Amino acid sequence: MQRLKGRLDRVAKALAPHEGKRMRVIACGVCKPGNLAEATCSRAITNGCLTECVSLEGRIEDITDEQLEEFIQSFPIQDNDALPGRRWA
């Protein structure tokens, strides 16, 4: 019985929402100077986890952390949990 309870606990933990977690992916180039004017960003929450995908034109070294954070925060967050038919574990 203890073994079954342990397995059920692991399954429940794996399927639980990831409240407060964030994953940020930044793709950038190496040849051109950094340019936020041509950059794109998408932000979405799925199972409580915020995912941010940023595509920069040029080198990330040319952009300060404050500029990058302000740029990312300017994009709205899509709530994938509210979409019908979305059942990702």
Radius of gyration of the chain (CA): 18
Q: Is the residue at 8 inside a domain?
A: no
Q: Is the residue at 57 inside a domain?
A: yes
Query: Which of 77, 24, 21 has its CA nearest to residue 55?
Result: 24
Q: What is the pTM of this model?
A: 0.68
The secondary structure of residue 33, as a DSSP letter, is P
C-alpha torsion 11→17→19→22, nearest 10? 90
Q: Is the residue at 9 inside a domain?
A: no
In terms of residue numbers, what domain contains 44?
Answer: 17-81
Q: Are 56 and 34 in contact (CB under 8 A)?
A: yes
Q: Is the residue at 10 inside a domain?
A: no
Q: Is the residue at 50 inside a domain?
A: yes
Alpha carbon 77 to its chain centroid, in Å, reads 10
Count of domains for the chain? 1
Q: Is the residue at 63 inside a domain?
A: yes
Q: Is the residue at 51 inside a domain?
A: yes
Tens digits of per-residue pLDDT, 37-83? 989 999 998 877 889 999 998 899 999 999 999 999 999 998 877 66
Q: Is the residue at 59 inside a domain?
A: yes
pLDDT the model gives residue 31: 85
Query: Which of 27, 33, 28, 43 has its CA nearest to residue 76?
Result: 43
Instruction: For 66, list phi and psi in degrees, rounded to 5.
Output: -65, -45
